[in-house]
Amino acid sequence: MKKYYFDNCKTSQPAPEVIEAMMPYLKDKFIFPANFVSAGSTAAEELEGFKKIIADSIGANTSEIHFTSSGTTANNIAIKGFLSENAKHGTHIIVSVIDYPDLLTNAAFFEKSGFDVTYLETDEDGFINLEQLENAIRPDTIMFMTTFVNHTVGSIQPIKKIREILDTADHKIVMHVDAGQAYGKLPINANELGIDLMSISAHKIHGPQGVGALYQRKGVIIGHVIHGINRLDNHQTGAVSMANIAGFSKAVELTFRDFNQNVNHLRELSNYLLEKIEKTIPYTLLNGPRGESRAPHNINVSFDYIEGEAIMLMMDMAGISVATGSACASQGLKANYILMAMGRNHEQSHSSMKFTLSRYNTKEEIDYAVEKLAEIVKELRSRSPLYNKE
Amino acid sequence: MQYSQKVLDHFMKPHNIGKIENPDAEATEGSPACGDQISIYLKINAKTQVIEDIKFQSYGCASNIATGSIITDIAMGKTLKEAKKIGWKEAADALDGLPPIKMHCSVLAVDTLHKAIKDYEVKHNLAEADKFNKETIVEELKKVIYPQVGEDIVTLKMVKYAGFENGVAIIDLEIPKFDEHRDNVVEEIREHLEHYKEIKEVKITI
């Protein structure tokens, strides 16, 4: 059966060029980057080249990029490294209730060890409350963290405006940004946006799994988080996977080579998907904003009277991969915390379906998916005691 | 987490789905807020007490739909007395098992069937409506499944104390503080107890 993949926010298919770029490093070029011996020096030079590709894509210098084993590792090195090193300057941090779990679990970890955490609220479209941010800033606030593009509803946080608010403080407040869902979907210039620390991940942009990067603005000091052998720099402890890094930079090259074209394609597809769903299926509700303040690859819709795991499973049987915010599909049996924070009720959260698109998706695939979705929604509604329409 | 082929079959093509017009008895349990609700409708032969027709409707996940389907299959043609003996483990077994985290779906389906039968018995003076007392609370707690292992919290000895004083149900639980299912268990207990008009407040201590 042909597979229709619309869960690219979770992970995306590696591009064929990416796999090709990785292969030499899995075969003959297995040597670690090092000085003096010829193979090691070549690897070290190549590594610098890969770093430059990543750095250029976000307007950074190569010295500001550290490769990590995932976006989550980058988040941990940034948050734990910064807070443990800078606790002497203050122990107050700000995050929002709709942030990515990496940020929220780290905030909770530091809260337990004595930090004060302010959790900003969200509006009904998934944008953090900026007025609350202004009021939350204190003399001992040392860090603000945010998720650039919300992983559930695609809302794009106004980073530049946030920077301006943080800069009204009499002291420097470091901003850490999880850009896992933003990188490759929006133009990001870390310097211009005033971002101090930022995590990105390869497998969200058709790169390999198991590699990410941390951007650390020059002058922002973070302590060691992972101790051990120091092969390249302080934050890249342990062995590096040259194959993954090579694949990552190839994915970056491909993403940014035709950046505008890729983004326009995603925007066009997601508009088409939403329009088609809203035209074909009654009693739906878009979660998150409409238009340009939404990431171009994300559509999240709730379907009244039915439950999301059932929809997801039937879609799966038709060869279509999508995600749901239903409690029944979660490990902890809890309704999606982001939708609930946005003021959606339990039913709306349980029935939410998330489509995240990639440059490999086509209009024809969307036609098929929505046709199946309409059938499935109709079938499940006919079984539901809550649905008395027809 | 995997569903058995039988669960998938019953989910994709459920048996006895729909509504019976003018049923002899019916019951609806669960709530959309919790993500699962099931309604069961019965047609009963007044002379033989045999369930001659049974249908269900479901708002819920795949296992909710599959357990509704299997429970109506099992109950069809049985006498009320026989149908009352159907337990949630039997329903889950008939589906070749359910993932532990989904075991509560079986409890919900069986509980709804029992409530529908009770509805019939009370209407026809075959039984008295349940009187509420402390035992009711324990019986309800036996329907709360700890999702990690798919067993109820009473059997698992997670309930240290259950009491009822002046309209307050008092439950003392033993669940580790960082257990990921703790909030879910607490929510489930509330869902089971709060609809009793005798209970004005549910106090849960952990």
Angle in degrees, 0-180, between the axes of helices B5-12 and A308-317, rounded to the nearest 10: 100
Q: In this structure, what token pair is assigned to residue A241?
A: 């996977």
Residue B126 reports pLDDT greater than 90? no
The 10s digit of each residue's pLDDT in A32-55 is: 887 677 777 888 899 999 999 999
Q: Confirm or reject contact between B175 and chain A (CB < 8 A).
A: no
Spatial separation of the C-alpha atoms in residues A342 and A128, rounded to whole Å = 10
Confidence of residue B194 (pLDDT cuts 50, 70, 90): confident
Contacts of A225 (CB under 8 A, 6+ apart): A76, A77, A80, A81, A84, A235
- CA atoms within 13 Å, Cβ hemisphere of B134: 8
* A228 contacts A39 by C-beta, under 8 angstroms: no
Confidence of residue A98 (pLDDT cuts 50, 70, 90): very high
The 10s digit of each residue's pLDDT in B7-38 is: 999 999 999 999 999 999 999 998 877 778 99
In this structure, which amino acid lies at residue B168? V
- What is the predicted pLDDT for the residue at A254? 97
The 10s digit of each residue's pLDDT in A361-377 is: 999 999 999 999 999 99
- Among candidates A317, A334, A385 on the partner chain, residue whose Cβ is nearest the Cβ of B57: A385
All domains in chain B, ordered by first residue: 5-123 (3.90.1010.10), 134-205 (3.30.300.130)
Residue A386 reports pLDDT greater than 70? yes
How many interface pairs between A and B have CB atoms less than 8 angstroms apart? Answer: 77
Query: CATH assignment of A259-383, given 1.20.120.1810, 3.30.870.10, 3.10.20.600, 3.90.1150.10?
Result: 3.90.1150.10
CA distance B166 to chain A (A): 31
- What is the ipTM, given to two decimal places? 0.82
Average pLDDT over residues A60-69: 95
**Could you tell me what percentage of chain B is helix, strand and coil, using 3-state DSSP and rounding each to the nearest 5?**
40, 25, 35
**Testing the interface with B: which of A328, A380, A387 to mutate, by most B Cβ within 10 A?**
A328
One of A232, A328, A340, A374 is an active-site residue; which one?
A328
- What is the predicted pLDDT for the residue at A331? 66
Q: What does pLDDT average to over chain A?
A: 94
Long-range (24+ apart) CB contacts under 8 A made by A170-174 are A170/A139, A171/A89, A171/A139, A173/A137, A173/A141, A173/A142, A173/A143, A173/A144, A174/A82, A174/A86, A174/A142, A174/A143, A174/A144, A174/A220
Q: What does pLDDT average to over chain B?
A: 90
Q: Considering chain B, what percentage of its residues have pLDDT values greater than 70?
A: 100
Residues in chain A closer than 8 A to B5 (CB atoms):
none
Q: Confirm or reject contact between B186 and chain A (CB < 8 A).
A: no
Q: Which chain A residue has the Cα nearest residue B62?
A: A310
Interface of A with B (CB under 8 A): 305-307, 309-310, 313-314, 317, 326-329, 331-335, 345-347, 350, 383-386
- Among candidates A346, A384, A385 on the partner chain, residue whose Cβ is nearest the Cβ of B33: A346
Q: Considering chain B, what percentage of its residues have pLDDT values greater than 90?
A: 47
* A368 contacts A376 by C-beta, under 8 angstroms: no
Residues in chain B closer than 8 A to A314 (CB atoms):
12
The 10s digit of each residue's pLDDT in B33-90 is: 777 899 999 999 999 999 999 999 999 889 999 999 999 999 999 999 999 999 989 9
B180/A332 Cβ within 8 A = yes
Residues in chain A closer than 8 A to B61 (CB atoms):
307, 309-310, 313, 326, 328-329
Residues in chain B closer than 8 A to A385 (CB atoms):
19, 28, 37-39, 57-59
Spatial separation of the C-alpha atoms in residues A206 and A248, rounded to whole Å = 8
CATH number of A16-257: 3.40.640.10
| Residue spans of beta strands (DSSP E) within A21-85 | 65-68
Confidence of residue A390 (pLDDT cuts 50, 70, 90): low
B181/A384 Cβ within 8 A = no
Sequence length of chain A is 390
A384/B34 Cβ within 8 A = no
Angle (nearest 5°) at CA A359 between A245 and A200: 35
Domain boundaries, chain A: 16-257, 259-383
B/e letters for A288-318, b = 16+ CB within 10 Å, e = fewer, are bbeeeebbbbbbbbbbbbbbbbbbbbbbeee
Beta bridge partners of B172: B161, B205
Q: Considering chain A, what percentage of its residues have pLDDT values greater than 90?
A: 86
CA distance A350 to chain B (A): 6
Spatial separation of the C-alpha atoms in residues B92 and A238, rounded to whole Å = 48
Contacts of B145 (CB under 8 A, 6+ apart): B103, B104, B107, B151, B152, B153, B188
- Which of residues 4 through 43 in chain B touch A, CB cutoff 8 A? 8, 11-12, 14, 17, 19, 28, 32-39
The 10s digit of each residue's pLDDT in A305-326 is: 999 999 999 999 999 999 998 8
Residue A156 reports pLDDT greater than 70? yes
CA distance A103 to chain B (A): 18
Q: In this structure, what token pair is assigned to residue B120?
A: 């019939």
Confidence of residue B193 (pLDDT cuts 50, 70, 90): confident
Average pLDDT over residues A71-92: 97
Spatial separation of the C-alpha atoms in residues A170 and A89, rounded to whole Å = 13
Q: Confirm or reject contact between B61 and chain A (CB < 8 A).
A: yes
For the annotated catalytic residues of B, the residue numbers are: 34, 105
Q: Which of A212-216, A253-257, A295-299, B122-126 has the lowest mean pLDDT?
A: B122-126
* A346 contacts A256 by C-beta, under 8 angstroms: no
Q: Which of A233-242, A266-275, A318-327 has the lowest mean pLDDT?
A: A233-242
B184/A384 Cβ within 8 A = no
- Among candidates B34, B59, B62 on the partner chain, residue whose Cβ is nearest the Cβ of A384: B59
The alpha carbon torsion through A278, A283, A289, A291 (nearest 10 deg) reads 20
B/e letters for B83-107, b = 16+ CB within 10 Å, e = fewer, are beebebeebbebbebbbebbbbbbb
B38/A328 Cβ within 8 A = no
